[in-house]
Structures are given as C-alpha cells and as structure tokens.
Amino acid sequence: MSLVISVEKTQNPKEKPDPSSLGFGQVFTDHMFVMDYTEGKGWHDPKIVPYGPMEFEPSTMIFHYGQAIFEGLKAYKTKEGKVLLFRPQKNMERINISNERLCIPEIDTDFALEALKALIKLEKDWIPEAEGTSLYIRPFIIATDPFLGVRPSLTYKFIIILSPVGAYYKEGINPVKIYVESDYVRAVRGGIGYAKTPGNYACSLKSQVEANKKGYTQVLWLDGVEKKYVEEVGTMNVFFNIDNEVITPSLEGSILAGVTRDSTIELLKSWGVKVTERKITIEELYDAHAKGTLIEAFGTGTAAVISPIGELSWNDNVIKINDGKIGSLSSKIYETLTGIQYGKVEDKFGWTVEV
Amino acid sequence: MSLVISVEKTQNPKEKPDPSSLGFGQVFTDHMFVMDYTEGKGWHDPKIVPYGPMEFEPSTMIFHYGQAIFEGLKAYKTKEGKVLLFRPQKNMERINISNERLCIPEIDTDFALEALKALIKLEKDWIPEAEGTSLYIRPFIIATDPFLGVRPSLTYKFIIILSPVGAYYKEGINPVKIYVESDYVRAVRGGIGYAKTPGNYACSLKSQVEANKKGYTQVLWLDGVEKKYVEEVGTMNVFFNIDNEVITPSLEGSILAGVTRDSTIELLKSWGVKVTERKITIEELYDAHAKGTLIEAFGTGTAAVISPIGELSWNDNVIKINDGKIGSLSSKIYETLTGIQYGKVEDKFGWTVEV
C-alpha cells in the first residue's frame, strides 16, 4: 500500500502517569492513529493525530448495530531499552478474520502493522519500564454511517489507541476460582464467537457479574448447544493438564483463536509435552479430578498471559485443582512467554518484532 | 420521578425534507433528548438539546464492548392533525428487559415516556403527513466509560433521536422471497436474542448480505441448537397460517418479543382466529405446504407492520406460499393495525396514546 501516514503532533503533551499506580486501560498516550474507509474509495487518509475526543452523530451505526471489531496486544520495553511487539502479525490477521464475519472491509495487514509501529515509535517514552508493565495497544474498527437502516456501513474508522498498563500480577500469581456457567451462553457455532467483536463481550457481562457476586473471579463457558463442552474461561482460552497431556478446546467456530493460546501450544510442543486440541466436556474434567489426573488448569490471554485455575464450581460441585496452587507447567509457560516478550529469554520462535 | 427536563432550542432550524423522497433513518429532526447516568447518582440531567454530533473519547466502552440497547417506534399524524403513538409503554418496558440482560441500570419508564412526548411535541412539525409516512423514534442507551476493562460501565447516555420516514410500501405490498438460514445463527437460548441490543444486529449482517446476493430479501432464522425450529425473519417476528390456525414461535429466550407481534396475536384473537404460540419446525412448514395447508406466512415489525412471505428456500427446496400473493389475513391485519395507528380505525384496545 502506498498510503502515506500524516503526523500531527500534540501541542499539549500530557504528564506520564506514576508507574507504580498504573491500572489497565484508563490512561491513554498523547497520540492515536486514525484511518477512514469510504465505499468506492477504500481505506484512506491514514494519520497520527493528538489523542482526544472525536465527534459522532448520535445516528452513527456503531451506537445501534454494533458493527465493529477490535484487537489487543502489547509493546514491551527490554532492559536494554529496545521495544518489542509479540507476534503482532497474528493480531493484524485476526482483524481480517473478524472483519470478514462482521462485513467490514479488509485491511492491508502489512500497512496496519507499519502504522502501529510508527505510532509506537512516536510514543516510545510512554512505555513503562517497571517489572511486568507494558504499553497496551488497542486497534479497533467501527461502522460510522449516520444511518439507522440495518445493513453493513459504507464508512468506517480504523483507530489505534495506546494505554500504559501496570503489572497484571502485582502480588504474585494466585490461582482463581471459576464458576462453570450452565445458563448463560457466550457464543454458538454459526454465530460470532470466533470474531473479536463487541457483541461477544456485551453478551458475557451478566454472567460475569453474577459469578462475581457468588465469589468467583471468572466464568468457564460451556458450548451453547449441549452445554457440556468447555469453550473459554472469561475472555481467555483454557487449557487442562490431564495425566501430563495438555488439552485445549478445538476451534469450532465459537471460540476465539487466541495468540497466547497458539503460542502456548507451540511452546509445549517444543518441550515435548503432548498437546491435544479437541472437544472436552466438563464431565471429563470432573472425572479426571476424581481419578486424581487433573493436574493443572489455566487460562491464556494477552492481559494475564497465564491465569491458573485453582477451583471450579459446576452445579454446586466444587473441585480444587492442584491444591489451589499454580502448577509447574503454568509457571514455566508464564516465565518463558513473558521472558520472550521482555527480551530476557531467547526467542527461538521468531515471535518478537522490534519497533 | 421528579426530574425536570431542560430545553435548549436550536438557533438553526433545518429545512424539512421533501415528503415524497423520504427514506428510512437518514434525516433527523432539530432536537434530541439526552439524559446521563452516573454510578451513585442515578439517571440525571435530562435535557432536550439541538440535534448534532456529540464528543466521545476513542476509549468509550460502546466502541469496544457493545454494552448498549435500543428501541424503535413511530409517531403518526392523523388526518385531523392529532399525533398518535402506538403502545409506547411496551417499548419503554422492553428497554428495561434489555437493560437487565446487558447490565445497564433500569430507567423510569413513565419518565422516559414523558420525555419522549415532550420531544415529539417540540418536533410536531417534523411528522410527515403523506399516506404511510411517520416519524420514526429511536431511543437508545450506550455505555460511556472511557475505559478498556471488561465490566459494566459506570456511566451511560440515554438518547432519543427522531427521523421522518417515508411509506414502507410505496408501490403496494409485495410478498418477499426468504432464504432459510441453515449455517449462520442469530441467537441461542442463554444468549442475548431476546434483548434489543447491537450485538444481535451485528451478528445478522453477514447472513443478510449473502441472502441478498442469492436474490433473497431476508433470511428466516432457525434455532441455534438443533437448526430446525423457526425463530424470526430478518429483524421481524414471523407467523404462519396453517389450516386456518395461526402459529408463531413461542418466546424461548432467543426471540425478540415484538410489539407488533403481540398486537397481531391480540387482533387475531379478537377476530376469533385460533392463534398458537409454540415451537414450529421448518419441516412442519414444508409438510404443510406439501399438503396444501400452509395458507399464509408473514413477518411483523415496526417498520413494515406486516411483511408477507411469498417464497421460502430451504436447502435448495423452494416453495411458493399463497401463489406469491399477499394473503387475506395478512391484508386484514395490516389494514387494521395501520388504521388504528393513523386514527382511521376505532382503537378498541386502547393501544394509541395521543401526544
């Protein structure tokens, strides 16, 4: 793509937040990337501009019909001061997978990555340096026609915003208690579950809130058809170590193909650990637990990398996994992935991209 | 509720559109209603202000997680110049049903109706008068926290915008060709299908686009579990006249409880027509057609009121219904409902509300 990114620098740079008090997704950097799409013209006018509010007609389609997709990835600063991205091409490719399902025009993934790098270069000083901190990157596309008819929009905005975020595990990794959701359904085959699109998250809120009220951190989603196959945990993919075989639900259309999921599978294979992608029922997990073969369970995602599961509650049957402690495989995956991301562990896979 | 609605009138009233060229949802009136919600404070600061663009941070939750609901209803001008709403309480009640599912705080339905009436009174001259035209009313609520964490927002905006719309059937009512969707799924029990929320519409776009390419106007949705029970047609509820019994899918959690659906059921009952709400399979429809007992099929919704189905295509089996012509019951429902809405037919049900 021969588009040139115009750059308008802010006249009012903000003060950087205190690195020790960083949360998630609350503070944004000085600039953002914006590119427009117009039917017949394609994607045009890519620009980096000061971060700030944008004007939208109240009739804008995104407010009414949710035609949108997003991504989430991070930039990490190494102790040598290099800036690394972790498999950003995968996120750019997933944008187009989501776009296809949501009837949003395809983007040029190479150009999008170039735009992302240009933005991060400009905002380099915003990447926090304290242990475990990073710069969260949120690319997203929204439908912008000021029109109330139900059809794909003819105009869109592709926006990238950046947010310095604190360490996910400030006080060490503590396994979480998970509620197995038997009533609410996140997604079903034939729906939008494999796309990273607002509707999936809107749909998940109620179950999440109710699980929190019952004292659980997240929910484990079951399939929408038979309510017996395990799908995802919260907004993460999920893995189970049963008798030293690591099993993760296969991608059947209702599950997001996570980048950390894929990296975890690759990593385990490289260690000679048996990894299987297949359908797995909640009953099988409980049976394995009864037999003493359910060794570890954990979620994988960009935010936490690895989130060990210490307890499951399914129809009032509570089981404890690995005595509520983090398992050795979970620890090793966490240390290796974060090590690669921060440039502390050799990247044999060629996953990191320097900005 | 003792809230007072402040009113700021526009200094630049727009020119009214040519009534003969009115489409749907493209032109908006001079004013809109806006009310804010803040956690701990509740809904506050209701106001009528000039219609126009609003500012949103790119991090605003609605762009990322789709936490939002909406409604659609119409104001009709009678030939005596009165302004009528059709069962607006039903729409306000449904806002709260949708809100509950999407973790959005409840609204005061009486106050919302009062606000709606105040806005319409101010915009009375925007209600077009030509046959079949009306003023479309779009209340909607969006999550407005500038935050990327996945949780219910702590702030919201409730907005009502108005759009003069043309007659749905400019050239008479022509039954439409419908594609029975066997791959894509709109909603599943346990999901958000019964709520009027963006995610359901985002999810439906692709199937709609593909059906259009194949020469069909809309899709008939089947259930997401067994792919055999009929659910909705496009964005409408659906009815079938089989051997003079009118059958419509029962509300099982994945279907929107339409106001026109409810009104159609009431109307049919008042005429002594047998109406049944139950699960109905696509196979039963095809069997009835083969036996010659599938007399009529039609969709019901606010936009079209009644949309007769002339043809169904299911796995390449095409059937014609009522020889592709509008049925007598469909005609009678359409004439009666629109007659009541425009004040031409006596409203025995007390459905209309004068503004």
Amino acid (1-letter code) at residue B106: E
Residue A346 lies in a domain: no
Q: Give how far Cα A65 sits from Cα of A96, A281, B259, Å.
A: 19, 34, 20
Mean pLDDT for chain A overall: 96
**How many pairs of residues across A and B have Cβ atoms under 8 Å apart?**
218
Chosen domain end from B165, B194, B227: B165
Sign of dihedral through CA atoms B331, B334, B340, B344? negative
Together in a domain, B337 and B192: yes
| Cβ contacts of B101 on chain A, cutoff 8 Å | 206
Asked whether the predicted pLDDT for residue A1 surpasses 80, the reply is no
Residue A352 lies in a domain: no
pLDDT, tens digit (0-9, with 9 covering 90-100), for B160-194: 999 999 988 887 899 999 999 999 999 999 999 99
Residues near B213 by beta carbon (within 8 Å), at least 6 away in sequence? none
Residue B161 lies in a domain: yes
pLDDT, tens digit (0-9, with 9 covering 90-100), for B287-312: 999 999 999 999 999 999 999 999 99
CA distance A14 to B83: 52
Mean pLDDT for chain B overall: 96
Interface test with B, best of A32, A62, A138, A142 (most B CBs within 10 A): A62
CB-based contact A202 B197, cutoff 8 Å: yes
| Cβ contacts of A59 on chain B, cutoff 8 Å | 25, 28, 138, 161, 163
Q: Report CA dihedral (A191, A195, A199, A203) to the nearest 10 degrees.
A: 70
Q: Give how far Cα A294 sits from Cα of A231, A250, A338, B243, Å.
A: 17, 19, 25, 57
Q: Supply the CATH number for residue A242's domain.
A: 3.20.10.10
Asked whether the predicted pLDDT for residue B1 surpasses 70, the reply is no
Residue A312 lies in a domain: yes
Residue B37 lies in a domain: yes
Q: Report which DSSP code applies to A126.
A: G
Q: How confident is the model at residue A272 (pLDDT cuts 50, 70, 90)?
A: very high
CA distance B36 to B141: 9
Asked whether the predicted pLDDT for residue B40 surpasses 70, the reply is yes
- Between A24, A147, A199, which is nearest B148 by CB? A24
Q: How confident is the model at residue A19 (pLDDT cuts 50, 70, 90)?
A: confident
Together in a domain, B180 and B317: yes
Asked whether the predicted pLDDT for residue A264 surpasses 90, the reply is yes
Chosen domain end from B106, B137, B165: B165
Residue B214: domain span:
176-341
Looking at the structure of chain B, the number of domains it has is 2
Does residue B126 contact residue B76 with C-beta atoms inside 8 Å?
no
Together in a domain, A107 and A136: yes
* pLDDT score at B172: 83
A56 interface with B at CB cutoff 8 Å: yes
Note which residues in 286-345 of chain A have CB less than 8 A from chain B: none
Residues near B345 by beta carbon (within 8 Å), at least 6 away in sequence? B335, B336, B339
| Burial (CB count <10 Å: 0-12, 13-18, 19+), residue B188 | buried
Chosen domain end from B165, B196, B229: B165
The position carrying tokens 């690319």 is: A139
Q: How confident is the model at residue A160 (pLDDT cuts 50, 70, 90)?
A: very high
Residue A349 lies in a domain: no
Together in a domain, B118 and B203: no
Residue whose C-alpha is closest to residue A102's, from A139, A67, A71: A67
Chain B residue with the nearest C-alpha to that of A144: B63
Together in a domain, A209 and A158: no
What percentage of chain B has pLDDT greater than the value 70? 99
Together in a domain, A312 and A267: yes
Amino acid (1-letter code) at residue A120: I
Together in a domain, A188 and A147: no
CB-based contact B150 A205, cutoff 8 Å: yes
Together in a domain, B61 and B26: yes
B93: enclosing H helix or E strand: helix B88-102
Residue A303 lies in a domain: yes
Asked whether the predicted pLDDT for residue B259 surpasses 60, the reply is yes
Q: Supply the CATH number for residue B66's domain.
A: 3.30.470.10
Together in a domain, A294 and A212: yes
Note which residues in 66-125 of chain B have CB less than 8 A from chain A: 66-68, 70, 101-103
Stretch B131-149: mean pLDDT? 97
Together in a domain, B181 and B149: no
What does the buried/exposed string (b/e) look like for A328-346 if buried means 16 or more CB atoms within 10 Å of the residue's CB? ebbbebbebbbebbbbeee
Q: How confident is the model at residue B340 (pLDDT cuts 50, 70, 90)?
A: very high
What percentage of chain B has pLDDT greater than the value 90? 96
Asked whether the predicted pLDDT for residue A281 surpasses 60, the reply is yes
Together in a domain, B51 and B102: yes
Together in a domain, B144 and B256: no
Residues B277, A185, A303: CA angle, nearest 5 degrees: 155
Residue A320 lies in a domain: yes
